[in-house]
């Protein structure tokens, strides 16, 4: 594959992409298009954002480009193209990919980012807020478990009695389990009063310890984050003018707001 990219390194179209020239580039098929993007990135790594029409187009282009360069350098931000369908059931795979992409954007200086029309009109948390809202903790930190629970709710984590999949957390006694997407296994945080006594990976099936770690960074579990004040303000606006709001918010956006409100209620039940 590398030999193929090297053959294209002096191609005029690739030179135009590298130099950011305003030029119309016509590709005979998807493979040629993927080669052009991959070769231009290999020749000059930078931030390349590609916008295509549909989710299917974006998926095909991602698969083609990752045939030529490492998939760690290719990011995918896709969403369901029907807001109605997305509001009925969230596509977990797409959600996982969006969160992973936002996390990667906080770290990478160069990448190819593939998006489609529906994904750019959907509300999304900006990368700076995503990074600043991540929870960074380490052993021996002083932290009230209730405050950590409050933060997990705000970051979109779902409360459950026992973790069965990513983006969930559980709480019992002085132990909080959480499964962020940036780790291969869920994490168990043991508290001694308000001090973090230990942090470790554990097996999701057996619940047994895998490895002790000294620190952890818990990234958000959603690409849509709001604080409590924003939620209450939104509800007040919604009461006054529902029809006008429909022009600005997708159904999914509305439902996510209400889900956050329910999470706040659940948090209050846990605290009580």
DSSP secondary structure of 52-106:
ESSHHHHHHHHHHHTTTS-GGGEEEE---S-HHHHHHS--HHHHHHHHHHHHHHT
Mean pLDDT value of segment 223-230: 73
Whether pLDDT at 160 is above 70: yes
Q: What is the pLDDT of residue 224?
A: 82
Distance between CA 186 and CA 111 in Å, rounded? Answer: 28
pLDDT digits (tens, 9 = 90+) for 121-141: 877 888 988 999 999 999 999
Distance separating alpha carbons of residues 69 and 225, to the nearest angstrom: 33
Whether residue 88 has pLDDT greater than 50: no
User: Between 181 and 43, whose confidence is greater?
Assistant: 181
Least confident window among 28-42, 117-131, 234-248: 234-248
Report the chain's mean pLDDT, rounded to a whole number: 81
H-helix segments, the chain: 2-7, 12-19, 30-43, 55-65, 83-88, 92-105, 117-121, 127-132, 145-154, 228-240, 242-245, 251-271
**Structure confidence at residue 270 as a pLDDT band (50, 70, 90):** low
pLDDT tens, position by position, 37-55: 888 888 888 898 998 999 9
Q: How confident is the model at residue 266 (pLDDT cuts 50, 70, 90)?
A: low
Distance CA 265, CA 14 (A): 54
Q: Which of 195, 189, 190 is nearest to 218 (CA)?
A: 189
Residue 119: what are its φ and ψ, rounded to 5°?
Answer: -75, -20
Whether 5 has a pLDDT exceeding 70, the answer reads: no
| N residues, the chain | 272
Q: What is the mean pLDDT of residues 186-194?
A: 95
Percentage above 70 pLDDT, the chain: 71
Q: Tens of pLDDT along 161-170? A: 999 999 999 9
**pLDDT at residue 125, as a whole number:** 82
pLDDT of residue 84: 47
* Residues linked to residue 52 through DSSP beta bridges, in sequence order: 116
Mark residue 156 as left, alpha or beta (left: phi above 0; alpha: psi -120 to 50; beta: remaining). Answer: left
- pLDDT surpasses 80 at 71: yes
Residues facing 192 on adjacent strands: 195
Report the predicted TM-score, pTM, of the whole model to 2 decimal places: 0.77
In terms of pLDDT, which residue wins out, 28 or 113?
113
**Average pLDDT of 6-29?**
58
Give the three-state DSSP class for 229.
helix
DSSP, collapsed to helix, strand or coil, labels residue 182 as coil
């Amino acid at each position: 594959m590398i030999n193929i990219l090297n053959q294209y390194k002096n191609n005029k179209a690739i030179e135009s992409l590298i130099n950011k020239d305003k030029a119309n580039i016509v590709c005979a098929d998807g493979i040629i298009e993927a080669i052009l993007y991959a070769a231009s990135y290999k020749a000059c790594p930078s931030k390349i954002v590609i916008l295509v029409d549909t989710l299917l187009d974006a998926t095909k282009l991602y698969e083609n480009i990752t045939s030529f360069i490492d998939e760690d350098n290719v990011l995918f931000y896709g969403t369901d193209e029907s807001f109605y369908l997305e509001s009925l059931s969230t596509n977990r795979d797409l959600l996982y990919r969006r969160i992973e992409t936002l996390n990667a954007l906080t770290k990478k200086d160069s990448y190819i980012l593939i998006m489609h029309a529906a994904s750019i009109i959907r509300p999304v948390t900006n990368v700076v807020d995503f990074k600043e809202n991540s929870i960074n903790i380490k052993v021996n930190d002083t932290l009230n478990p209730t405050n950590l629970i409050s933060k997990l709710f705000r970051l979109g984590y779902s409360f459950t009695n026992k973790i069965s999949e990513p983006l969930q957390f559980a709480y019992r006694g002085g132990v909080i389990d959480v499964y962020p997407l940036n780790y291969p296994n869920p994490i168990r945080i043991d508290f001694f009063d308000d001090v973090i006594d230990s942090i470790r990976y554990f097996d999701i099936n057996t619940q047994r310890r895998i490895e002790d770690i000294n620190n952890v960074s818990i990234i958000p579990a959603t690409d849509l984050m709001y604080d409590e004040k924003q939620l209450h303000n939104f509800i007040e606006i919604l009461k006054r003018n529902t029809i006008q709001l429909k022009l600005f918010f997708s159904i999914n956006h509305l439902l996510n707001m209400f889900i956050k409100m329910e999470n706040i209620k659940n948090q209050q039940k846990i605290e009580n």
